[in-house]
Amino acid sequence: MSIPGDKPFQPPKSASPTEPDFRILIVDDDPALRRTFPHVLAHPGRSFDETGSIAEAIVQLEQQHYDLVLLDYRLPDASGLALLDWLVERRRDEAVIIISGEDAIDAAIGALRRGADDYVRKPYHVAQLQRAVEGALHKSALEKANRAMSQRLKASERLHRYLVESSPDLIFTLDAEGRFSYINPRIKPLLGFERSALMRRPFTTLIMPEDVDRVCSLLTQPSNLPGESFNVELRLRRNRGGGLDDDGITVSLTGLPMLTQSGSARNAGLYGVARDISERKRAEEIITFQAYHDQLTHLPNRVLFKDRLELAIAQAQRRTGALAVMFIDIDRFKLVNDTYGHAEGDALLRAIAARLSATLRRGDTLARLGGDEFTILLPDLNVPEDAEVIATKILDALAAPITLSQDEYRATVSVGIALFPRDGDTAEDLTRHADIAMYQVKRSGKNAFRFFDPELNTHHRERITLENDLRNALLRGEFELHYQPQVSIARRQIVGMEALLRWRHPALGHLSPNAFIQVAEELGLIGEISRWVLEEACTQLASWRQEGHVGLRMSVNMSPLDFDKRDIVSSITECLARHALPPGQMELEITESLMMNDTADVAAKVRQLRSAGLSVAIDDFGTGYSALAYLQKFPVSTLKIDRSFVRDLDGPTTNPIISAITGIARGFALDIVAEGVEQPEQAEALQLLGCDVMQGYYFARPAPAHEALEWLRQPARLFPVH
Closest CA to 450 of 463, 462, 458, 439: 439
Separation of alpha carbons 702 and 719, rounded Å = 16
pLDDT in the model for residue 654: 64
Architecture of domain 22-149: 3-Layer(aba) Sandwich (3.40)
> Is-contact 668 466, C-beta < 8 A?
no
For the domain made up of 481-718, the CATH class stated in words is alpha beta
What confidence tens digit (pLDDT) does each residue in 91-101 have? 888 889 988 87
Q: Are 664 and 638 in contact (CB under 8 A)?
A: no
Q: Greater confidence, 256 or 694?
A: 694
Confidence class for position 12, pLDDT limits 50, 70, 90: very low
pLDDT of 263 > 90? The answer is no
Beta strand 322-330 with 413-420: parallel, antiparallel or unpaired? antiparallel
Q: 9 or 715: whose pLDDT is higher?
A: 715
- Does the structure show a pLDDT above 90 at 372? yes
CA distances from 64 to 23, 49, 70, 256, 295 (A): 9, 10, 15, 49, 74
- The radius of gyration of the chain from alpha carbons, rounded to an integer in Å, stands at 47
C-beta of residue 352 within 8 angstroms of C-beta of residue 395 = no
Q: How many CA atoms lie within 13 A of 393 on its CB side?
A: 13
Torsion of CA 288, 291, 292, 295, to 10 degrees: 110
Report, as an integer, the average pLDDT of 342-354: 94
CB 409 within 8 A of CB 418: no
Specify which residues 231 forms β-bridges with.
254
pLDDT band at 114 (very low <50, low <70, confident <90, very high): confident
Q: What is the mean pLDDT of the chain?
A: 87
Helix orientation angle between 278-292 and 302-319, rounded to the nearest 10 degrees: 70
* Bridge partners, 453 (sequence order): none
What share of the chain in percent tops pLDDT 90? 47
Q: What is the pLDDT of residue 613?
A: 94
> 383's torsion region: left (phi>0), alpha (psi -120 to 50) or beta?
beta
- In terms of Cβ atoms closer than 10 Å to its own Cβ (0-12, 13-18, 19+), residue 524 is exposed
| DSSP strands (E only) in 304-392 | 322-330, 365-370, 373-381
Tell whether the model's pLDDT for residue 694 goes beyond 80.
yes
Q: Could you give the angle at the alpha carbon of 98 between the alpha carbons of 93 and 100, nearest 5°?
A: 165
* pTM of the predicted protein model: 0.45
153 or 298, higher pLDDT: 298
Is residue 700 within 8 Å of residue 485, measured between CB atoms? yes
**Whole-angstrom distance, CA of residue 579 vs CA of residue 539:** 7
> pLDDT by residue (tens digit) across 161-205?
778 787 889 999 999 888 999 999 998 998 888 888 889 999 988
Could you tell me the residue ranges of all domains in the chain? Answer: 22-149, 167-283, 293-456, 481-718
- With bands split at pLDDT 50, 70 and 90, how would you rate the model's confidence at 7? very low
pLDDT class for 594, splitting at 50, 70, 90? confident
CA distance 111 to 482: 122
Q: Would you state the pLDDT for residue 333? A: 92
Could you give phi then psi for residue 366, rounded to 5 degrees?
A: -105, 130
pLDDT in tens, 617-675: 998 887 765 556 677 778 899 999 989 889 888 655 667 888 888 888 998 999 999 99
Question: pLDDT value at position 598?
Answer: 61
Name which of 440, 434, 356, 363 is nearest 396 in CA terms. 356
Residue range 259-280: mean pLDDT, rounded: 76
What is the CATH topology of the domain spanning 167-283?
Answer: Beta-Lactamase (3.30.450)
For 540-562, what is each residue's pLDDT tens digit? 999 999 999 999 999 999 998 88
Q: Residue 621: its pLDDT value, please? A: 84
* CB neighbourhood size of 19 (10 A): 11
Residue 656 to residue 560: CA distance in whole angstroms:
29
Maximum Cα–Cα distance for the chain, whole Å? Answer: 141
Beta-strand pair 586-591/553-557: parallel
What is the rounded average pLDDT of the residues 212-216? 86
Predicted confidence at residue 185, as pLDDT, reads 92
Strands (E), 558-670: 586-591, 615-621, 638-641
> pLDDT confidence of 506, banded at 50, 70, 90?
very high
Answer yes or no: are the C-beta atoms of 171 and 162 closer than 8 Å.
no
Q: What is the pLDDT of residue 11?
A: 37
* 415-461 pLDDT tens trace: 999 999 999 999 999 999 999 999 889 878 899 999 998 876 666 67
Asked which of 113-122, 182-191, 337-346, 532-541 is least confident by mean pLDDT, the reply is: 113-122
- Beta bridge partners of residue 483, listed in sequence order: 499, 703
Who contacts 342 (Cβ-Cβ below 8 Å, separation ≥6)?
Answer: none
Give the per-residue pLDDT at 9: 30
For the stretch 124-135, pLDDT in tens is: 888 888 898 988
Q: Residue 242: pLDDT above 70?
A: no
15, pLDDT greater than 90: no
Residue type, 363: G
Mean local confidence (pLDDT), 387-406:
92
Short-list 485, 374, 376, 390, CA closest to 714: 485
* Structure confidence at residue 316 (pLDDT): 93
Classify 293-456 by CATH class.
alpha beta
Indicate if the pLDDT at residue 605 is higher than 80.
yes
| Beta partners for residue 370, in sequence order | 373
Number of Cα atoms under 13 Å in the Cβ half of residue 10: 13
Residue 364 pLDDT grade (very low, low, confident, very high; cuts 50, 70, 90): very high
- Quote the pLDDT of residue 692: 94
What average pLDDT does this structure show over 351-379?
Answer: 95
